[in-house]
Structure formats: structure tokens, C-alpha cells
Structure 1
């Protein structure tokens, strides 16, 4: 029996939840921020509420109005939390992105979303300048720059924004760009009730309470930050921990777990794999009580090694940019290597092509019942993508694009993607984006990009490349093409493996059969 989840007609997280906590517990910790040089900012709920009101005031002064989109290209700067609260307070649409984006990625996101304002750190300012067309306001965080407005300087003098936008629960609030198998990333749009639905994430999976200090090591440019760095913890009244670092350092992260009273940890499988390969001997995480992971399947061996050294079980969870936490493992209801069981608010099944539930042990598509009332936290759809929306909402179900089996006890077991999207180190990457970048190099006649198994990252990007006339395969050319992709698009999309081939498998109509290449890659693993 699916448990009801009440969603009011009008809802605004900044007003209805965060401000309520700020009034009830004004001096309690909301955010513990550690800078790259060791500086510490310990913010209370009342302090964050005031900072969010000032951020909203600045956005309004810069011409942002209710319903306008704001691109936020930051990593873990304090301003990210202030601006997310500010956008919600104002009724603007927040569209976070990673600082790894290149100029053409930013230009696409700006044009597709119609962004009124771009807020960025110095790390990505050059790329923003290269993408800028003169119509979008540019705000820089953490420094000053010619032609930009300084967020830090303006915030000091800003008066708090008076009041809150009385937003509808289904009014647009968030726009995330999610990679697909073809074309540019799609705009997955969520309403304001998405923030409310993360009560499921915070309670069912993260298991948070008002005394917890929760750390999510994922970057703020992804929807996972909404899960574990924003709404999941604050919906439960918990405090958030974050470390502003330029790159992930497993040893430094383990130091943080020892030094600060972090009670719950959320990290992608790649991070846990690095943790268990680090020297854990003698380390003590006195406050840590609960660990979770999501983004890609986690090896049972890693779960076992982490448990042996820390005494804690990693509880795998499952959801998407398009959803909140859908199913997960919990203390007392955990099965190592599985995705866990659906949260009580969701009707999930593994279905066949006609939408009929499959029997236990039979592989099928992971589906979420999407009738009325609409499942809490399910996105509104891909903006401007009618055909794609029709393909994922079918026969009363939302099809996630993943395949799994369900065992006799109701645990879901991940099998793989139903399409060609690659999941690596917590990133979701469409093959088309990488193939397009490769094609811009004159040495590449055509290419096909697929997932290839990898012990550390789960899977990595592999490119099969047919060379143009006059070019010869060589290790040097591999490096040249890898560097070219890093320079052309976000660096995390570069192919870690490249194989030169004479031709690519194709259908009669000339479409590349990526599945044939992918199956061969994973078949090598099975036969090894």
C-alpha cells in the first residue's frame, strides 16, 4: 500500500520550511563550511535566513523577477546556499551547473533556459565571458572582475528582501540539465514541491534528525546536491557540512571525518572505492553513524571492506535528476549490492514493454507509477521535448531508463541502462556529447562512445574511433584526442579509453549500433 504524501496548493520551501526552522531554532547550526585554506564558517538557521533574504534582494536589483531563470555555476562556495534560498524566496528558477562547463556548454544552457542572470566563480568566468552575448547579467563570487558585478561586495550592503513569493507547488522552481543518448542535455524541470518531496530522501534514506551533521561530498553542480546538500538535511532540521576543495582528496576527506562531528555521510561509489584503498588503519570516526551512496551501483566488496574497517554499512540508494530518492537500503532493511526497496510513497515495479509488471527474477524496465495524484518529487517533464516526454511517460508509468530485477523479498537489483547513457564516477554522460567533441578534431572521421567496465569508477567512457585519411593510430594520437575533448567540453566527459577501428557496426539504415560495442566491452569482463 502506497502511503499518501500531502502536497499543498501553495508552497515555498524558503518560507514554509526553512523560515519556520529559523524561527523555532534561530541559533542552531544550519551550515558548517570549511574553506580550502582551513577557514571555518559556522552559520545558524537565522543567519542563513538573513543571507538568503539579502541574496534575493540582490537578484531583484539585478533585474531577476519571479519565473526568471538564474544559472548558478559554483562549486561549494557559501554563496551557493545563499543563492538557492534567494531564488526560492524570490520565485526565480534556479539552474545549477558544474564549474567544469566550457563556453559552448554555457552558451547552450543560457540560450535553452533563457537565463536572465549568470552567477559564477572565477574558475569558470573565462568560459562565461567566451559564451556571453551581452544580454545576460554576469555576477562573480569570491573575487572581482572587469565587466562583472561582485556578489560579495554587493551582499554586504544589501537590505533583506521583504517577504516571499507565494508560489504554487507546481510552479517552475528548478531546471537541471540531464544528458541523454542524442542531442544536447535536456532540461528537466521541477516545481516547488520537489523541495518538499525531499522529506522522503531525508527521512527514509538519509535517516536524519535535528541533531545530525550531514556531509555530501558530491559537487553542487548536480541535482544530487538538492538531495543531500540542501533539501534532504534541512527538511529534517539537520545541519549541513561542506568542504570547499578544488578536487576530491580521499585522505583529506577522511581527515574531515575524524576532525568534525559528522554523523552521516553521502558519497558516490568512486569515493568509497578510494576510501577503502586508503590507509584506514588507526582512523576513528567517532561521530559517524550512517553512510549512504548513490549515482551508480556500488560493489558489494566495497561495502564489505568499508564495514570491516569502520563497522558501518554503506546503504545504497536509487533515484534520478528527474526524481527524489525512489528506493534504498536502510538500517534493518538492507541487502548488500541491491538498490534496496521502494520508499513507502512510491509504487515501483519492473515492467515489460507493455507496462505489465514482471515476475520476481525477470529483467525489465524500472518504472514508477505516474498517475494521479502525481508521485511526489517527480519532474514536470523535459522542457521543449514533447517526443521524449511521450517516450518516458507510457502506459501509466514513468520509465526511468534503467533496467533491473526484483527478488522475492521486494529488493531491486540494478542491471544497467536501457539506453546508451554512461554512468561513471557519479556523472551521467550522453555519448552524443563526446562523439560531437571528437568529431571536431580533423583526425576523426566518425566515432562511437560507450561505457566500458572499470574497477575504480564502475564504468568509464570508451571511444571507438575511425580515423580520417592521412592519420595513423598511435598512443600520441590517443592523448591528443583526449586533450581535445577536455578542451572542447567539460573535462569529465573525456574518453579514458580510445580504440582505433576500421569501421563501426551499423544498422541497415546507417545508425551506429552502440549496444553491440557496449555488450562486447562488458562481455570481455565476463570472460576475463
Structure 2
């Protein structure tokens, strides 16, 4: 029997309205991801594929659920031998190495809490996260940059018991995870933790101060049933690829929880650096049946010469993490015959709105609200917006726990309730059209306030990215004594184009001609590259700091 039927009274729906009204997830009193999903698949279908790992160096390895169950039991015994107990937190710096899945399941098995982190973090960033989480272990990739960042952690982080290094070549000054855990006998027990206990913590940045800890409980995987089955449309016995570093919440959306509950294997494509040509080759070779990658990657695939043959196996394309240009979606459809379906959400939860399967795609739209949440748009005074009016995306909780939504923030030594007066605030601005589709405008803190106008970065970027000279653009607000802020466009140029006053004027006029003139960029800065995450997402705060430091 498909495991998903243990949690969904109904899996099929006739329309979005039927889905919105009748979709339900049944949450058992003591859900255990290791026991109820990994071990149950291992018992029912031992040879069922769980994970297909590959990299650009030609290494590939396939794992069945039976094998992952056994390996995670050995890792659990190993962690226990190192002094790890239920509730202890373990920070990982593992990119997309297959060991992440072994470790994550092992932690769920013993009740430890995984704290994923990006391998781009520097020593200062890592120390802050270890100290904030009071992490007992760090499990890090055998990578020169990562090793340099973790070498002083033992002396600087009082909570830390040890550092484990993942890789085939052990490092003398560290414990080798691969060499040690495999020697342990399987730990055939379960944590006995409650649904309300912690399972995973993401660090998420706000507008001020250091990143906060977003804490999810042990029912978090069940919330991602909606992500996997109705946003990414994964298939039982299919192969799904969500391209994301394990340090980001998008990894949890697309690489383990909902996908395994739905019976899909994960394609763990693990490049050291993103290369669109290599990704096209991986897609053609491994033939995933569903694909979810950031809008930036779709753009690069198109520019790399995407052809239908590269993605013939893929039956459903989706994206999340940042807005998708309508022009990119239309061009993708022209080449492949498929549209890309957008999902919108945050590290704090599961999809809030989505281009669900029953909805005709409207390029650039966020789709319609998820049935998991009571979603609305509100004004600053808390009243509901009219259709067509911009407002903040919020979730009304009605005093009830929201499946998949964080249970608490932790910052500056105190727990913070993310729900205030029955409302969870996303900080994102959108509007609803007459047919109920939501359209993204920008982050509350990214909104540019110029001479009384509120300007969303995405709407200007969408225009600039269609100009033949522009390879990529990012819009930020730049301080201005007269207007408060002005629109500043940071531009990456295509080959054959060079910065000039003439090109700047041409781009400014192009924006004026294709959107409201007041939105045009009064300042344009050309850069050779953008600071990005490993999944290709522009790091706007760092970009803003770079530009302001150059200009001031």
C-alpha cells in the first residue's frame, strides 16, 4: 500500500475548489519519520529506490530504502556513542552529499535535531549558529574552504563535543564520519519523542539583527505532503530533482520528507559549482520525472540552449524561492511544451500559495492559496485588502497549530511566538486578481519607497531581464536625500555588450516604455558577477552592501 494513504483521507480532487475545501492531512499522535516512512518502506518494499546520488566527477550511487534504513541505524548508534541524546542539536555543512540523508534519518530516529547550514558560511557565521543552537556536533564536508572555517570551532564553541568530517579521505585532526559510523551495529529502537518536540531548525534572516532560529516540530514532514504531491507532483516510484544545498529550507521542501512519503526517489545531483551545461547533461542522463529548480536556474538553462530532449522524461516542472519571470515561463513552454508551476512560501513553513495542478498557469503568478492555511492579504491597519490592492500575505491561525508552520523563533536568548494576535505575518507584499490568483510584489523590507511611490523589485527586474543586453538584473533601493530612496538596477551584461552611458540611457528608457515610468532605475551599476547562494539565488542584502559601499 502507498504510505501516503495513511495520512490523506482523499488523494484525488476534481477541481481546485474541491481541493481547497476537502484536502486534509491526518496527523497520528506519535509520528516518527524514521519509523513510519523510511523503515516502513524498507519493510514493505526493501528494494524500492530512495536516493540516486551523482556528481560532476562521474561518481554515482543508488540507495534503496532498506539500505538507508540500515545505514541510518548504524549512524544512530554512532551518534549515541558520542553522547548525543534526544533534543540535542547537530549542525550540518554537507552541500548535497548522500551522507546528509543518512544523518538526517539517524537524527530523527534518536530524537536529535538537525540544524542545516550552507557551506558558504564563514567561521563567524558558523560560530554564531553553533552557539545560538548550543549544537553538540558539527558534521562538515571534506572541502578546503569548509575545513578552514571549522578548524577553530572546538576552542570557540563551548557546547561542541566534536567535529565529524564526511568524505572518503579522513583528516588527521578530525573524526571521519564515513570510517567510524559504518563499524557500529544497527540501533533498532526509536526516540519516543512527542509530535511537539523539535526536529529541524533553519536559520532565517530578517530585516535587522542576526538570523533567527525557525524551529519546526516532528510533524513538519507531514506538511510537505502538500509540497511533494500537489506542488511538485512527484510520482510513486518516480525520480524527483529539487536542486538545493542541504543548508537551505528548500532542500527540506524537495529532497526528503514529502517526496519519500509519496514514494518518490530523490535525485541527489551534487555539483561543486552550478554549471548549466552539466545540469542539462544530468537531466538527460538520469531522466527525473519531476523537477523543481529556482527561476535563476531555469533562465540559465534557456541561455545554455535547453532543448526538449534534455527534459523529455520530466512530466511536471515547478519552482520556488524567488519570483519567476513570465517571459522565462513562456519561452520555456515554447521549447518544452510545459509551463513551470510556481510555489510560494518561506523557511518557516510549507507552500502558502501555489500553481496547483487544476489551475491554468498565469506566468508570473504565485497561484492560489494552499488548503493547509487560511491565507489573506491585509493592509497595515490589519483590515482585509480588496482585489487588486497590494497588501501583506498573512495566515490566520484561529488559535490552532498550523501543520508545517514553525512552532517558534529563537533569537537573543528567548523564544518568540511567530503568531501575533492570531496572525502569522510573512512580510511579503502581493495582490489578488479578480480570479483569485496572487501576484508577488516584493518583500516588505525590499520595497522601495521613492517620492511616495512603493516599488517592488520584481516588476522592474522582469522588464530589464527581457532586454537583449541584460543577462541578469537585481533591483535594490539606494538612499537618496531628496526622494528617500531611488531605484538602483544592478546589471550583469550578456557577451558582446559593455557598460556605457548610452546603454544606461537605453535601459532606463526601456523600463519607462514597458512599465510605469516612475519605476525606472535612476541609477544603474554594472557588475561582473552577483553574490549568490549555492542554489543560484541572489543574496540581495550582500549585493546592497556592495553597491552602497562602492557609491557612498
C-alpha change, 1:187 and 1:36, in structure 2 (3 Å) is: same
- Corresponding position of 2:392: 365
How many angstroms apart in 2 are the aligned matches of 1:10 and 1:402?
A: 34
Following superposition, the deviation at residue 53 of structure 1 comes to 1.0
Number of aligned residues:
461
- Corresponding position of 2:37: 17
How many angstroms apart in 2 are the aligned matches of 1:82 and 1:193?
A: 19
Which of 125, 146, 154 lines up with 2:147 in the alignment?
125
- Corresponding position of 2:370: 343
| Partner deviation per Cα, 1:398-447 (whole Å, 9 max, x = no partner) | 0111011112222111111112499xxxxxxxxxxxxxxxxxxxxxxxxx
- Corresponding position of 1:303: 329
User: TM-score scaled by structure 2?
Assistant: 0.77
Following superposition, the deviation at residue 460 of structure 1 comes to 6.2
| Partner deviation per Cα, 1:297-320 (whole Å, 9 max, x = no partner) | 000000011111111110010111
Which of 140, 147, 150 lines up with 2:165 in the alignment?
140
Following superposition, the deviation at residue 381 of structure 1 comes to 1.6
Q: Does 1:498 align with 2:518?
A: no
Which shifted more, 163-172 or 185-194? 163-172
How many angstroms apart in 2 are the aligned matches of 1:111 and 1:141?
A: 22
- Corresponding position of 2:213: 187
| Partner deviation per Cα, 1:144-175 (whole Å, 9 max, x = no partner) | 22321000101221211121112211111111
- With CA pairs under 8 Å and 6+ residues apart, which has the higher RCO, 1 or 2? 1
Residue correspondence of structure 1 range 19-418 to structure 2 within 5 A:
19-123=39-143, 124-133=146-155, 135=158, 136=160, 137-142=162-167, 143-281=169-307, 283-333=309-359, 334-384=361-411, 389=416, 393-418=419-444
How many angstroms apart in 2 are the aligned matches of 1:14 and 1:306?
A: 38
Contact 2:281–2:310 (Cα < 8 Å) also in 1:
no
Contact 1:36–1:245 (Cα < 8 Å) also in 2:
yes
C-alpha change, 1:502 and 1:375, in structure 2 (3 Å) is: closer
- Corresponding position of 1:526: none
**Unaligned ranges ≥5, structure 1:** 423-449, 467-474, 504-528
How many angstroms apart in 1 are the aligned matches of 2:330 and 2:412?
A: 43
- Please give the root-mean-square deviation of Cα atoms over the aligned residues, in Å: 3.1
Contact 2:530–2:543 (Cα < 8 Å) also in 1:
no
Contact 1:2–1:347 (Cα < 8 Å) also in 2:
no
Following superposition, the deviation at residue 140 of structure 1 comes to 0.3
How many angstroms apart in 2 are the aligned matches of 1:190 and 1:151?
A: 26
How many angstroms apart in 2 are the aligned matches of 1:213 and 1:501?
A: 46
Which shifted more, 254-263 or 106-115? 254-263
Contact 1:2–1:346 (Cα < 8 Å) also in 2:
no
SS at match of 1:30: strand
User: TM-score scaled by structure 1?
Assistant: 0.81
SS at match of 1:132: helix
C-alpha change, 1:491 and 1:199, in structure 2 (3 Å) is: closer
C-alpha change, 1:63 and 1:277, in structure 2 (3 Å) is: same
**Unaligned ranges ≥5, structure 2:** 1-20, 449-456, 466-470, 482-498, 500-524
SS at match of 2:100: helix
C-alpha change, 1:53 and 1:463, in structure 2 (3 Å) is: farther
Contact 1:11–1:166 (Cα < 8 Å) also in 2:
no
How many angstroms apart in 1 are the aligned matches of 2:531 and 2:446?
A: 22
Contact 2:446–2:476 (Cα < 8 Å) also in 1:
no
C-alpha change, 1:281 and 1:321, in structure 2 (3 Å) is: closer
How many angstroms apart in 2 are the aligned matches of 1:75 and 1:462?
A: 32
